[in-house]
A = this chain, B = another copy of it.
Amino acid sequence: MLRRMSPRAYLAGPDVFLPRPEAFAAKKKALCSRYGFEGVFPLDAVLNLEGLSPHDAAIAISRANEQLIRSCQLVVAHVTPFRGPSADVGTAYEMGFARALGLRVFAYSNEANDFAARCDLLFETKRRPDGSLEDAWQMSVESFGLADNLMLIGAVEDSGGALVQHASSEAARFLDLTGFEQCLRAAAKVFSL
């Protein structure tokens, strides 16, 4: 009997910046297995960076990550706001990369409030005469009631993925895997696992 290959899920997110990313990756991969996926973490590529300049090492890592995404069927992106009101830009880049390749894009955020509400907390947003919102630099604040920039949310919806927002405790902001697991559950349905 043929054994079906598990769909490969690229685990995009700022998790790579955790103090011990490998331990966190192992947790995520174990959850992936439980739902029938093979988790692929950005640090999985075996790279020999020895002797490379910091610049060349960075480019080698970027290239390896793109190759890993190309080997996957879906992305589960961790989009908890990172160092500002939006997701990590590396994660956003990878969502766009995956979407253009036709992968399904799932995403989870450990904050439950929407983008405009977050901007209001972080910056002094002001209501313009036409009703739109602007930030302290007079730049418009998207107010569509979405979790983040519309390109990110569009990728999730148009690819047939799912977005999960779940308010974690502040201490578990980058560690809580409730939303991640809900993404996997949704993805398992989509992939008929």
**A174 touches which one: B58, B83, B139, B142 (CB < 8 A)?**
B139
Determine the distance from Cα of A134 to Cα of B104 in the docked complex, in whole angstroms: 32
Q: Does A30 contact B (CB under 8 A)?
A: no
A48 at the interface (CB under 8 A from B): no
Question: B-facing mask of A86-121, CB < 8 A → 1, else 0?
Answer: 111110111111111100000000000000000100
Stretch at the interface among A3-11, A33-41, A61-69, A179-187: A61-69
| Docked-complex contact B153 and A59, CB < 8 angstroms | yes
B54 touches A143 (CB 8 A): yes
A→B interface (CB under 8 Å): 14, 16-19, 54-55, 57-59, 61-63, 65-66, 82-90, 92-101, 119, 122-123, 134-135, 137-146, 148-155, 157-158, 173-174
Interface centre among A62, A84, A101, A135 (most CB of B within 10 A): A62
**A83-B135, A144-B58 known; A93+B90 contact, CB < 8 A:** no
Complex contact A123–B83 (CB within 8 A):
yes
Contact B87 A84 (CB under 8 A): no
List, in ascending order, chain B residues with CB within 8 A of A152's CB. 89-90, 93
Known: A58-B144, A96-B93. A66 touches B154 (CB 8 A): yes
CB distance from A121 to the nearest CB of B (A): 12
- With A62-B150, A96-B100, A139-B174 known, 10 other A-B pairs at CB within 8 A are A14-B139, A57-B144, A58-B144, A62-B158, A66-B100, A66-B154, A83-B84, A83-B123, A93-B155, A97-B99
